[in-house]
Amino acid sequence: MTTSDDAVAVLGVQAPPVVRRASRWRLALPVGLLAVPMLAFLTYFFFYPALGLLLSSIQTQDSRGIIGRPFTLAHYARLVNVELYARVLWTTLRISIVTSALATVLAYPVALVMVKSRPMITRIITLIVIAPLIVSVVVRGYGWQLVLQNGPKGMLNWILMTLHIVDAPISVLYTEAAVVIGSLHVFFPMMVLPLASALGKIDPNLEDAARMLGAPWWKVFLRVTLPLSMPGFVAGFTLVFSLTAGSFVIPAILGGASAVMLGNLIEQQIFVVYDWPFGAAIAVVLVGLVLAVNGVSMWLLEGRRLRRPE
């Protein structure tokens, strides 16, 4: 409390010592307690339900729909062994990895231009990149449905046919490619923002030095900019991967029957088949996947295993 003592001295006000001691005591106790309502709420409505789901994933559901003993790992085995379900797992992994990789390649140029342009351009790019983030995923999925529509009335096909690039309409909608395109649109900001923030922290003198020493632009990028922006890349990749792996709306709208992801399989098991333990097991696998990727990313970021720009 040195600062208030100074203030007391400067202002010549005598604060009653008894009151101050009481207030200091009160200050120490309640501040931490302010987190208690939030903690209690999340424990009861987030942590406890998550444990409950984990528990039902190793239990058995009887014919009346009651979940209980015996404990079993059969639901997990089913996900891996039944080809129909295993394929969903692989599709999810494939779509998530391809989307994150594409997002990385495309986000670097955007983030670079965003960071290094004049303020006005930076502002416009930021606004365009971020604006869709706040538009409902359903609306964005619908927009892509209109763009990719199969048949000559879709925007993409109309453009391709008008420019005589193709003679007959191509079918993109209801394929994995459509899901990748939609996911890329939805999660692209999650890659650009961390990248831009990492790129913004790089000392421009380092790049200038490399350039003055005669390095061509691509060498400057590969040897200076890229290594120094790794923390942003790791953070962005993790976000895009986790969010894509857990999506439901985009594969439901754009993937149809040919690109079913884990989220859609869970929904089907719960709402259509009413198989809670199996649905819970798929959910646990999804969470495990996401937590594993986040764990690796935290290990990379916090262990100073990446060179950070200071």
Site for another protein in 99-128 (CB under 8 A): 106, 109-110, 112-113, 116-118, 121, 125-128
Using the rule CB under 8 A, give the single segment among 32-40, 86-94, 167-175, 300-308 that binds another protein: 32-40
List binders of another protein among 52-91 (CB under 8 A).
52-53, 56
25 binds another protein (CB under 8 A): no
Size of the site for another protein (CB under 8 A): 99
Q: Interaction with another protein in 253-282: which residues (CB under 8 A)?
A: 253, 263, 266-267, 270, 276, 279-280
Q: Does 173 bind another protein (CB under 8 A)?
A: no
Among 60, 104, 171, 197, binds another protein (CB under 8 A): 197
Exactly one of 160, 230, 290, 300 binds another protein (CB under 8 A); that residue is 290
299 interacts with another protein by CB under 8 A: no
Interface with another protein in residues 204-223 (CB under 8 A): 204, 207, 217-218, 221
Near another protein in 223-252, by CB under 8 A:
235, 239, 242, 245-246, 248-249, 252
- The full 3-state SS of the chain, as one line of letters, equals CHHHHHHHHHHCCCCCHHHHHHHHHHHHCHHHHCCHHHHHHHHHHHHHHHHHHHHHCCCEECCCCCEECCCCCHHHHHHHHCHHHHHHHHHHHHHHHHHHHHHHHHHHHHHHHHHHCCHHHHHHHHHHHHHHHHCCHHHHHHHHHHHHCCCCCCHHHHHHHHCCCCCCCCCCCCCHHHHHHHHHHHHHHHHHHHHHHHHHCCCHHHHHHHHHCCCCHHHHHHHHHHHHCHHHHHHHHHHHHHHHHCCCHHHHHHHCCCCCCHHHHHHHHHHCCCCHHHHHHHHHHHHHHHHHHHHHHHHHHHCCCCCCCC
Does 177 help bind another protein (rule: CB under 8 A)? no
C-beta closer to another protein: residue 132 or 227: 132
Using CB under 8 A, pick the residue from 193, 198, 228, 240 that binds another protein. 193
To another protein, the closest distance from the beta carbon of 73 in angstroms equals: 19
